[in-house]
Amino acid sequence: MSGREKRILFVLGVFFGAALVFLFYLGVIEKPGLGRAERELAKRRESCRNIDAERAKKKEESLMWQQGLRDIKEVRQTWYYQKADGIRPFMSDVGQILGGAAIESPQSSYDYSEVRGENTERVSVTFNCSCSYFMLKRLFDDLERFPKFLFLERLDFHKTPDKGQTLELSITLTGYYARN
């Protein structure tokens, strides 16, 4: 071999050696560091997925609360009596329900109270009446179907009849007013 061929082989050997050292560096020294970086990247991606899932859950929960507030507002406007309208709508509704059941109430007394912790007031009307079982059943049905919060709070039987006689009873109906 000539001197020129020896130099070329020497240079190729140095390049080959440098390539082997570089591959050894990547395979033994750098690869574990690369694995750590990949593991860290995987952890961060998982953390981002968890954060995204938590954010979606919180957003859904927020939408549910907003819907709940809208529902409360609708209930207060639709099912409650409005304080600004006064007692007349309540009295009219009680009269309508009693008229539908064909029950007459010559005397009635009203009672007002606040509901603690709420922005509502409660009004109750108590009256004595005489009616049949059928009329009482009709009253219950009308109250159940009525589109406002109007409840049968108390029912006291003063006289229970024998066959064919009428009931004598005291009834307390309660409605709720929304204070605006």
86-107 mean pLDDT: 85
Residue keyed to tokens 């000539």: 2
81-178 maps to CATH 3.40.640.10: no
The CA-atom distances, in angstroms, between 82 and each of 39, 168, 174 are: 63, 33, 14
Q: Is the pLDDT score of 65 beyond 90?
A: yes
pTM, 2 dp = 0.61
pLDDT single digits (tens) 30-62: 556 667 777 888 999 999 999 999 999 999 999
Tell me how far the alpha carbon of residue 104 is from its chain's centroid. 41
* SS3 state of residue 81: strand
The per-residue pLDDT for 32 is: 61
Q: Is the pLDDT score of 102 beyond 70?
A: yes
Tell me how far the alpha carbon of residue 101 is from its chain's centroid. 36
| Domain locations along the chain | 1-78, 81-178
The per-residue pLDDT for 132 is: 83
Contact of 109 with 154, CB cutoff 8 Å: no
Determine the residue type at 69: L
H/E stretch holding 97: helix 88-100
The CA-atom distances, in angstroms, between 109 and each of 100, 133, 158 are: 20, 24, 17
The per-residue pLDDT for 40 is: 86
Confidence bin at 20 (pLDDT 50/70/90): confident
The per-residue pLDDT for 180 is: 65
Confidence bin at 116 (pLDDT 50/70/90): confident
Structure tokens at 51: 């954060």
- DSSP per-residue codes, 125-160: EEEEEEE-HHHHHHHHHHHHH-SS-EEEEEEEEEE-
Nearest CA-CA partner of 171 in 146, 148, 152: 152
109-113 mean pLDDT: 83
